[in-house]
Structure 1
Amino acid sequence: MAVSELFLVRHGESVGNVAATRAELEGLDVIPLDIRDADVPLSDTGREQAAALGEWLDDHHGSIDTYWVSPYLRAQETLRIALRDRATPTPPVTDERLRDRELGILDLLTRRGAAARHPEEMARRLHLGKFYHRPPGGESWADVALRLRSFLRDHLDGPGDRALVVAHDAVVMLILYVLLPLREQELLDFAADHTVLNASVTHLVRREGGWDLAVFSDVAHLQREGADITVHPGSPDVEPA
């Protein structure tokens, strides 16, 4: 049996999301965060969003066969809170290929900070484009797509019919890129007009001709439970200033 339905969940709001957004609004060069990316926890709002995601699971949990999750703390906490004490057919599987995009020398820099401290890198990014630019020590979107192709190749034709992934905004976008599939410019156009909201659910369905996008970044469960809907771009995808 192969996976025919895939639910992609972005983690709830993290303290990193809050710090990055505040730093951008205040015009800072550096995001004031002293935790490595893998260890960034959920904010109080993020925990409320994860609990609301648990209400979504009340309607879907019995039909989900497999759970996969990023190793990063904010994703792990989101799934743990959402599942509460529910039993799963098999234990959730942590896979490091679902981790967030690594930004290398641009990590913890705002757009202003990146332009001020690494102008040559911003010029190189402008030349290469968002999809292929790899900051030193980090990953391009193409790099993330490559590891996700490996993840999907290993798992989509395995046991179970419906699967849920808890990960990050870049992971959700790039799984769409791989499965729909999208061309580079189609992905960039889509990403420019669409935000993967915290604790949102994106639903893909496999049909005879390939994968279809059924729902993108649905947050109706947050609205029903009175949880805040937060708009954060996730790890800063730095644009030239």
Structure 2
Amino acid sequence: MSVNFQVTLVRHGQTAANKAQIIQGNADVPLSDVGKNQATKLGSHFNRTGASFTHVYASDLSRALETAQLVIGDKQSIITDKRLRERAFGVVEGKSIESYRAAAREAGFKEKELSYFTPEGGETLPQVNQRVKAFFTDLIDHLKTSQPENESKILIVTHGGVIREFMRFFRDDCRCDFKGGEIMIVTPNTGVNIFNISILTGNKVKAEVVKIHDTTHLQGDNPESNSTKSQVNVNDNHTDKGKSDDDAPPLVAL
């Protein structure tokens, strides 16, 4: 029996550290007023467009959990999961992106490889990818047992680096095609990314892009509160099939 569901991945709202280009990682940094406004606007947008969700998950870090609360309101419960936390950056958390770059160069990493540098006490990218896969596998198992006949709609509020690892997983393991370069972008604060997921016979997974990096709800905001990119939807040609030689992730997803 196949299981079909939709996943909406949302990045948390802006924080003061985002604006200052400070690495947060697992540090528990709250939303700024701008971030709260972004999340509130996304909730209003979902209400206007009739978007609803059967399950809501969030990172337990306050910037993601508060975003989820502002988006959903008191309509339903939010399940927190530590596997949805941002990549841990160890000793460079609380420091500038430039300090991370400098440490990576000192460790011998070339410019295109800086993101692969793991600071002391930090996580490797494969470690982040593995916890994303573990979360997704558990989600599939839950949906199979709880609502096998109905199409579930899942909202996941998390972090830029984690969303990027979801996309890499969808591309590499779930046959999902992306427009060239789109997977390399760190989705904007409260950016919306929607995927249709099909679980077929033999537990084979197929993912399809509906839209990515969508910030329609922030249109008209000033640059400070809307450092965003236009949405990319399924009507665009998604041609990024498989890895490329330049498959380095964004330098740092704050």
Above 0.5 in TM-score?
yes
Asked if the contact 2:26–2:87 (Cα under 8 Å) also holds between the matched residues in 1, the reply is no
Residue 230 (str. 1) matches residue 227 (str. 2): yes
For each residue in 1:106-158, what CA deviation from the matched residue of structure 2 results, as whole angstroms up to 9, or x when unmatched?
Answer: 3233343245566532x1x3399356542221012211001111100101232
- Structure having the higher helix fraction is 1
Highest relative contact order (Cα 8 Å, sep 6+), 1 or 2? 1
Spell out, residue by residue over 1:156-213, the C-alpha distance to the aligned partner (whole angstroms, 9 max, x if none).
2323511010000111111011123279xx9995444x23011111001124671011
Q: Percent identity among equivalent residues?
A: 26
Q: Work out whether residues 27 and 93 of structure 2, in 8 Å CA contact, stay in contact via their aligned partners in 1.
A: no
Structure 1 contact 196–217 (Cα < 8 Å) conserved: yes
Distance 1:144 1:128 in 2: 19
| Separation in structure 2 between the aligned mates of residue 104 and residue 187 of structure 1, nearest angstrom | 33
Q: Which runs of 5+ in 2 are unaligned?
A: 230-249
TM-score, normalised relative to structure 1:
0.75
Counterpart of 1:219, as a letter, is T
Q: TM-score, normalised by structure 2?
A: 0.72
Using the TM superposition, give the Cα deviation of residue 222 of structure 1 relative to its aligned residue in structure 2, in angstroms.
1.7
For 1:21-170, list aligned pairs within 5 A. 31=22, 37-58=26-47, 59-62=49-52, 64-86=53-75, 88=76, 91-116=77-102, 119-121=105-107, 123=108, 125-126=109-110, 129=113, 132-159=116-143, 160=147, 161-170=152-161
Q: Is the 8 A contact 2:26 2:89 kept in 1?
A: no
Kindly report the root-mean-square deviation, in angstroms, between the aligned alpha carbons of the 2 structures. 3.3
> Which of the numbers 173, 197, 206 marks the counterpart of 1:210?
206
- Please give the secondary structure, in 2, of the residue aligned with 1:102: coil
**Superposition deviation, residue 14 in structure 1:** 1.0
Q: How many residues align?
A: 214
Unpaired runs of 5+ in structure 1? 21-30
Q: Work out whether residues 180 and 213 of structure 1, in 8 Å CA contact, stay in contact via their aligned partners in 2.
A: no
Report the 3-state secondary structure (helix = DSSP H, G, I; strand = E; otherwise coil) of the residue aligned with 1:139.
coil
